């Protein structure tokens, strides 16, 4: 068993350049006919965040939030709070969409080349990651002048949080890629699922909003695997106080479990994909 795993991983590593060029080729092809090109990876979450900012920030008069940093109260603009959750959520949404299409949209490639099929969801994840890394820089360019948010000691947490999030998205993309092969309708269901997931995640509202809603409601929302990941991003991007140890443990646990189960399930099913393609 260990020999087979080592051989498979070695085969994946030997084709790492293939995964990179496949991701970059898909990225360029998808945006070749648009005026803004790769900027759409940043524009999409910005536009969606702008919609929620108008609805909740202006119409519901949530201009600023009073949060704590280092035990002291400070004011954070709702736009900064919103984007610090919107960009990471859009990364997961893009990873899911890419994973769903990674196998079913490459049937000709699968028919003509022999390679580990896991390369395809990996390439889709690389494609999503490029846009997400860009959006992190844009976040500071946008909210820095507005809210005076600049990188501080807390920003060092951004790198381990991104690695945890990447592992989480990897597991998620392999699961949806495996399900999408026999069940093609998944592509139509993903937008509705991600919209519901957005409302169940602390993107539009802060975690304290759940207090007083009942133990069952709070527990249900906190079981959301994105909950601790988004809390970690909030700390890394804005310095807001959170239960760092608890969030790290929960986020890492979800990432490890999801990626392990996702890869194992995908690889076990890999040899049977041809019958559905």
CB 48 within 8 A of CB 90: yes
Rounded CA separation 116/220 (Å)? 37
Rounded CA separation 95/2 (Å)? 29
Rounded CA separation 57/50 (Å)? 9
Give me the helix-helix angle, 2-14 and 16-31, nearest 10°. Answer: 50
CB 255 within 8 A of CB 168: yes
Residue indicated by tokens 């820095």: 144
In the numeric block, which tokens belong to residue 50?
């702008």
Please tell me the predicted confidence (pLDDT) of residue 75: 75
Please tell me the predicted confidence (pLDDT) of residue 66: 75
Please tell me the predicted confidence (pLDDT) of residue 253: 95
Mean pLDDT by 10 residues, the chain (277 residues): 72 81 76 62 72 70 73 78 88 90 80 80 88 80 70 84 96 91 82 88 79 73 89 89 91 94 86 67
Please tell me the predicted confidence (pLDDT) of residue 35: 56
Q: Give how far Cα 24 sits from Cα of 28, 104, 126, 196, 275, Å.
A: 6, 18, 8, 30, 29
36-52 burial, b for 16+ CB within 10 Å, e for fewer? Answer: eeeebbbebbbebbeeb
Q: Is 64 helix (H, G, I), strand (E, B) or coil?
A: strand
Among 61, 265, 264, residue whose Cα is nearest residue 181:
265
| Sign of the CA dihedral running 243, 165, 169, 254 | negative
Q: Give how far Cα 167 sits from Cα of 58, 117, 145, 163, 172, Å.
A: 36, 18, 32, 6, 9
Please tell me the predicted confidence (pLDDT) of residue 38: 63
Please tell me the predicted confidence (pLDDT) of residue 52: 75
Q: Where are the alpha helices (DSSP H) in the chain?
A: 2-14, 16-31, 40-52, 78-104, 107-112, 119-147, 158-180, 186-199, 215-222, 226-238, 244-269
- Around Cβ 241, how many Cβ atoms within 10 Å? 14
Q: What is the pTM of this model?
A: 0.88
Rounded CA separation 132/41 (Å)? 7
Q: In sequence order, what DSSP letters do the residues of 66-110 get, joined into one string?
A: EEEETTEEEEEEHHHHHHHHHHHHHHHHHHHHHHHHHHHT-HHHH
Please tell me the predicted confidence (pLDDT) of residue 59: 64
Rounded CA separation 126/120 (Å)? 10
């Amino acid at each position: 068993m260990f020999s087979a795993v080592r051989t498979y991983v070695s085969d994946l590593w030997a084709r790492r350049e293939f995964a990179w060029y496949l991701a970059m080729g898909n990225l360029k092809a998808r945006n070749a006919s648009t005026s803004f090109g790769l900027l759409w990876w940043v524009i999409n979450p910005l536009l969606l965040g702008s919609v929620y900012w108008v609805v909740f920030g202006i119409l519901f008069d949530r201009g600023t939030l009073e949060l704590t940093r280092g035990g002291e109260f400070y004011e954070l603009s709702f736009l900064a709070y919103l984007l610090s959750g919107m960009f990471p959520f859009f990364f997961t949404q893009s990873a899911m969409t890419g994973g769903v299409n990674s196998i079913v949209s490459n049937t000709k490639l699968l028919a003509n080349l022999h390679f580990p099929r896991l390369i395809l969801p990996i390439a889709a994840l690389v494609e999503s990651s490029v846009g997400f890394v860009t959006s992190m820089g844009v976040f500071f360019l946008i909210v820095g002048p507005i809210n005076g948010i600049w990188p501080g000691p807390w920003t060092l947490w951004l790198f381990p949080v991104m690695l945890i999030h990447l592992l989480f998205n990897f597991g998620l993309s392999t699961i949806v890629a495996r399900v999408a092969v026999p069940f093609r309708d998944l592509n139509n269901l993903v937008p509705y699922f991600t919209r519901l997931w957005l409302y169940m995640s602390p993107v539009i509202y802060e975690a304290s909003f759940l207090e007083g809603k009942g133990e069952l409601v709070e527990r249900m929302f906190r079981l959301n695997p994105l909950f601790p990941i988004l809390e970690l991003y909030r700390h890394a991007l804005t310095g807001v106080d959170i239960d760092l140890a608890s969030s790290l443990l929960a986020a890492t646990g979800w990432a490890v479990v999801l990626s392990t189960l996702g890869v194992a399930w995908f690889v076990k099913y890999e040899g049977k994909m041809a019958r559905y393609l």
